[in-house]
Chains A and B, each alone.
Chain A
Amino acid sequence: MSATMVEGDHEGHGAHLEIPYSQQLRNNRLGLWLFCFSELFLFGGFLMARFYLWRDPATGAIVRPELDQLLGLGTTSVLLVSSLFMALGERAIEQGNRKRFLNSLLVTAALGIAFLVGVVGLEWNAELSPTDGAFGAVFFGMTGLHALHVLSGVILILIVWWNGRQGKFSPEQHWGVEATAIYWHYVDVVWVFFYPALYLIGQAVHV
C-alpha cells in the first residue's frame, strides 16, 4: 500500500500527513462520479432539446429524421461490445492477467475508433446535414458531442494501455484503469439514451 505524503505544518516543522491509498481512492471515485453527474446536465440538455424540437408542428407528435437503421444498430452494437472488452480488461488487471488486460484495452480502443467511423465517417455523410433546421442542429449537436467524448475515451484508453505496458498497474493499485473504465462505460450509458432518442422514438419523416 502506498500513501501520499502531504506537508502538514504551515510553519515548516517538517511534519507530514499521510493520506492512505484507500482514502485517496474514495476521493478519486467521488470526484469522477461528480464529474459524470455534472456531464448529465450537458447531455440531458440535448435530450430535452430533441424531444422539444423534433415534433410535428401540426399535430405535436414526436418525430425523428429518417436515418439508416442498420447503421444505428451497428454503431450501438460496436459500442456495446467495446464496453464488454473494457470490463474484461479491468477485471483482467484485478486478476493480475496483464496480457489479457492489454489486449482487451486494444480491442476497446479499436472498437471506439470503429464507432467513430460509423457515426462521423458514415452517418454524418448521409442525407442529413447540419443546416437542416432543428433536425440537423440537434442530430449533429448530439452525435458530435458524444463523438468527442468517445474520441477522448480512446485517447485515455491508449494512454492507459501504454502505461500498462510499462508495468504501472498492479492488481492492488490500478486507479487509472478503473477511472478510464468508468469514463468509457459512462460514454456508453449516454449512447444508451441517445440511440433510441435519435433512431427509434417517434415517426420517421423525410428531411
Chain B
Amino acid sequence: MNETTTSPYRQIYVVFIALVVLTILEFIVAAYLPSVVFLTLIALAKAGLIVHFFMHIYRLWNNEESH
C-alpha cells in the first residue's frame, strides 16, 4: 500500500537530488576549475533531466490515452 502511494513521487525526488548535486558541482567547477566546456556539459545534463523527467518530452511520440 505504502509502496504504491510513494513510488509515483520517488522518481521526482531522485531527479531533483541529481539536479541539486549538478548545481553544486557547477558552482564548485566555476570556482576552482573555470571551464566553459565543463559548465556547458553540466548545464546540458541538467536541461536533459528536466526535459525528460519533468517535461515528459517522450509523450510527444508516445500515444498516451489518459489526460
In the complex, whether A86 has a CB less than 8 A from a CB of chain B is yes
Asked if B16 and A80 sit within 8 Å, CB to CB, the answer is yes
C-alpha gap A200/B24 in the complex (Å): 12
C-alpha gap A20/B42 in the complex (Å): 41
Contact of B12 among A26, A84, A178, A186 (CB under 8 A): A84
Q: How large is the interface on B (under 10, 10 to 19, 20 to 34, 35 or more residues)?
A: 35 or more
Which stretch in A11-19, A109-117, A143-151, A167-175 binds the other chain? A167-175
Asked if A171 and B66 sit within 8 Å, CB to CB, the answer is yes
Which chain B residues lie closer than 8 Å to A25 at the CB level?
64, 67
* Given A80-B16, A80-B20, A196-B30: A87 in contact with B54 (beta carbons within 8 A): yes
C-alpha gap A29/B40 in the complex (Å): 28
CB within 8 Å of B: which A166-207 residues: 170-175, 178, 181-182, 185-186, 188-189, 192-193, 195-196, 199-203
19 CB-based A-B contacts, threshold 8 Å: A1-B65, A29-B59, A86-B54, A87-B12, A87-B15, A87-B53, A88-B9, A170-B67, A171-B66, A171-B67, A175-B67, A181-B54, A181-B55, A182-B55, A185-B50, A186-B55, A192-B46, A196-B30, A196-B42
Which chain A residues lie closer than 8 Å to B39 at the CB level?
196, 200-201
Which chain B residues lie closer than 8 Å to A22 at the CB level?
63-65
Asked if B12 and A91 sit within 8 Å, CB to CB, the answer is yes
Q: How many residues of A contact B (CB 8 A)?
A: 42
Asked if B43 and A88 sit within 8 Å, CB to CB, the answer is no
Interface string of B25-41 (1 = CB under 8 A from A): 01100100010100110
* Given A185-B50, A185-B54, A201-B30: A196 in contact with B67 (beta carbons within 8 A): no
* Given A80-B23, A87-B54: A192 in contact with B64 (beta carbons within 8 A): no
* Given A25-B67, A76-B23, A84-B16: A200 in contact with B30 (beta carbons within 8 A): yes
